[in-house]
Structure 1
Amino acid sequence: MNKQYDYLVIGAGLFGATFAFEATKRGKKVLVIDRRKHTGGNVYCENIEGINVHKYGAHIFHTSSKEIWDYVNQFADFNRYTNAPIANYNGEIYNLPFNMNTFNKLWGVVTPKEAMDKIDEQRTNAKIGRPSNLEEQAISLVGTDIYEKLIKGYTEKQWGRKATELPAFIIKRLPVRFNYDNNYFNDKYQGIPEGGYNKIIDKMLDGVDVKLNMDFFKHRETLESQTEKIVFTGMIDEYFNYKFGKLEYRSLRFENEILDEENYQGNAVVNYTDRETPYTRVIEHKHFEFGTQQKTVITKEYPVEWSAGDEPYYPINNDRNDQIYKLYKDLADKQGNIIFGGRLATYKYYDMHQVIAAALTAVEKEFVNR
């Protein structure tokens, strides 16, 4: 019996849209569905007061892969935005990532050697051997002053746990520079698509059948009967009806404000690193595209505990969850007609370029010799 579609793609985010675009380009008939009322997943932008508001948090595209950079540039032109967030600790402003500007403001040092000596002194005084948690790992990297002012409060708000209860690996890749470079990313290519990320998704899904406000699990039998193969980008534990238990996440709550002023904070991203401020950062969206609108839109970002029905953002990759995910992964590998992809289906935090790269790898694997 011929099916109506070659592929049913569940989730209209970057992974699903990339796969759908590539499959359609190869002559396949694809249906993309999404629970939400819009495409784009978490990169979706909502236009408010002429400003492209990143509805699900700041998304800054960056990659060192020319292949991936060229790939996304076929869908949109990118501006020259450079991510240079700042930290606000009780009204004191510091540059991120930690660099000579940070060290000079904090300690008055002016040379890399002076900064290194200060960190070494604090690291020695802390008497930390092999770091066993995030707090010890952070102090061993940058000393106690930076940890107390710029890491501890932000991290504990982000994860909802004391830093001493968090694994060290979370912060092992913390960028520390002994120069005056405020560019947060080391990647060669960086920017924001002019006109927002919707332009990329819309072009990827041009000519593809799309159904929104469609819950796969409510229409599973009908949808599965229409397609030869499934690409699933949702939560892997939900797909298997939580057979081995629920995986844990951290979630976010966003509060948007339209302000009757041109420039609220002078930067796209400001992190609030004290423990008392309930939100972790404030995003002023117009700065992503160098906007000159008379008004501005800001978003306060509040980390919250995740529960069923909330949007899952950050997988909690501790031993318990990793063991549960492995059980689901083993089960997924045995499925003959399903491709699992994206951060929820692989229980892994991805940057945007990594999602696209993973989708293209899945495409290559799927269509090799076809």
Structure 2
Amino acid sequence: MHSLNVTGPSPSQSDQQQAFDYLIVGAGFAGSVLAERLAAGLNKRVLVIDRRSHIGGNAYDHYDEAGVLIHRYGPHIFHTNAQRIVDYLSRFTQWRPYEHRVLAVVDGQQVPIPINRTTLNALYGLDLQSDEEAERYLASRAEPVETIRTSEDVVVNQIGRELYEKFFRGYTRKQWGLDPSQLDKMVTSRVPTRTNTDDRYFTDTFQQMPLEGYTRMFERMLDHPNISIMLNTDYRQVRDQVAYKHLIYCGPIDEYFDHCFGKLPYRSLKFEHQSLEQEQFQSVATVNYPDETVPYTRISEYKHLTGQQHASTSITYEYPSAEGDPYYPIPRPENAELYKRYEQLAAETPGVTFLGRLGTYKYYNMDQVVGQALALYKRIEEAHNGPAPGESAEHSESLARQAP
């Protein structure tokens, strides 16, 4: 395998002299998947830039000083129900089976989250033996909400105020800097409540981790003679120095337009990484701390995820923050309205396509970002190759108008 074609923050002479078909801003999942497809599938010349010092975006992992493989930006757990996404990523990695389990520290105990029958039995000294018994118990605690609008409404309607306050209110206030009553219902809808004893965090059909880590997978994905990479590079540094035909922008859409309508609100995170001279720190990969008096939201231990055997272990404390890199679009109706204004401006801007979590201001999982990038590639490919057998020329022209 040849080494990745990586240059520094200034374009090399050869980069300046040659025209690229695509300039892609962002070397995370969205940008890297699209770069690979354009280079390998359509023989396009692609320049990928990223303002960070590495590829892989927030999924970047590396060996720390102790020799433990850690995720620099908090735990990234791969799970999906889409076989086509598994098939695509499997070109660049082997996998190791891993089912994520999370415990929450509540009333001095560590209990499973999402809430399940085991959680209820442990918290309340119950002996619920069946799904039906657990369902009846939760129904007896639920406080019906006539119109469900907010994240608070979702939980109180399902399981009542006491469990909502034990598990959700403090955690959500820390995570988002807002009360659940101020957040869109989709935030807490992501965390189900179960009546069985399934203690897995996710129930997707495919739950596995890249065998050699995410960074190794990205390296293979971007290892193509048609792909050049520039790290430690801001888009504004190179946009007038490099010749390219079309821009794929995976950074914050409001930043591209100089925040002309105001800043889109994001929530950030601060990470405190620690290496410990012991084999294991906690019994599962992630332990949540819903109590608002505890400053961090969770502690993660990476050896559970990676299966690495090592005499030491490494953990990360996560502290949500209003300042720092944009991680989570804040789901509130007024923010969605502001994004729509930027989306309209984007639609009127020729020569640029916005992609990914930041480019489309949506809280996507990793597999969803891969799916979004593959869908964009399909539109580009169909527009490039003309109508497939049985498709009309009008269909092809419509695709061509959508595709860069």
The TM-score with structure 2 as length reference comes to: 0.86
| Equivalent residue pairs, number | 362
> What does residue 100 of structure 1 align with?
117
**1:64 and 1:166 mapped to 2: Cα distance?**
27
**What's the offset of the Cα at 1:28?**
0.9
2:61 pairs with 1:45: yes
What residue ranges of structure 1 are gaps of 5+ in the alignment? none
| Aligned twin of 1:222 | 241
Q: Which residue does 1:155 correspond to in 2? A: 172
SS at match of 1:167: coil
Of the three residues 101, 106, 125, the one matched with 1:84 is 101
**30, 33, 49: which one pairs with 1:18?**
33
TM-score by length of 1: 0.94
> What amino acid sits opposite 2:259 in the alignment?
Y
CA distance in 2 between counterparts of 1:8 and 1:326 reads 24
* Stretch deviating more after TM superposition (313-322 or 294-303): 313-322
Q: What is aligned with 1:204? A: 221
Letter of the 1:82 partner, please give it.
Answer: E
SS in 1 for 2:132: helix
Matches within 5 A, 1:288-367: 288-306=305-323, 310-367=324-381
Alignment CA distance shift 1:128-1:27 (3 Å): closer
DSSP-derived class of the 2:241 partner: helix
Equivalent-residue separation in structure 1 for 2:45 and 2:95 (angstroms) = 30
**2:20 matches 1:5:** yes
C-alpha distance in structure 2 between counterparts of 1:19 and 1:174, whole Å: 30
Choose from 269, 292, 309 the match for 2:286: 269
Q: Which residue of 2 aligns with 1:179?
A: 196
Report the more deviating stretch, 325-334 or 109-118: 109-118
Q: 2:265 is matched with which residue?
A: 248
TM-superposed deviation, 1:301: 0.3
Q: Which moved more, 1:344-353 or 1:90-99?
A: 90-99
Compute the RMSD of aligned alpha carbons.
Answer: 1.6
Matches within 5 A, 1:117-132: 117-123=136-142, 126=143, 128-132=145-149
What displacement does 1:110 show? Answer: 2.7
After superposition, the Cα gap between the structure-2 partners of 1:182 and 1:127, relative to the gap in structure 1 and judged at 3 Å, is closer
Contact 2:144–2:157 under 8 Å retained in 1:
no
Q: Does the aligned pair in 2 maintain the 1:77–1:194 contact within 8 Å?
A: yes
- Pick the aligned partner of 2:47 from 15, 31, 46: 31
CA drift at 1:50? 2.5
Which whole-Å deviations, capped at 9, do the CAs of 1:59-105 have from their partners, x for residues lacking one? 11111111111111111111111011111125311112221111221
Q: What's the CA shift for 1:289? A: 1.5
3-state SS in 2 of match to 1:28? coil
Distance, in Å, in 2 between the alignment partners of 1:17 and 1:163 is: 34
Residues 184 and 333, structure 2, Cα contact 8 Å, conserved in 1: no
The 3 A distance-change label for structure 1 pair 173 and 13 is closer
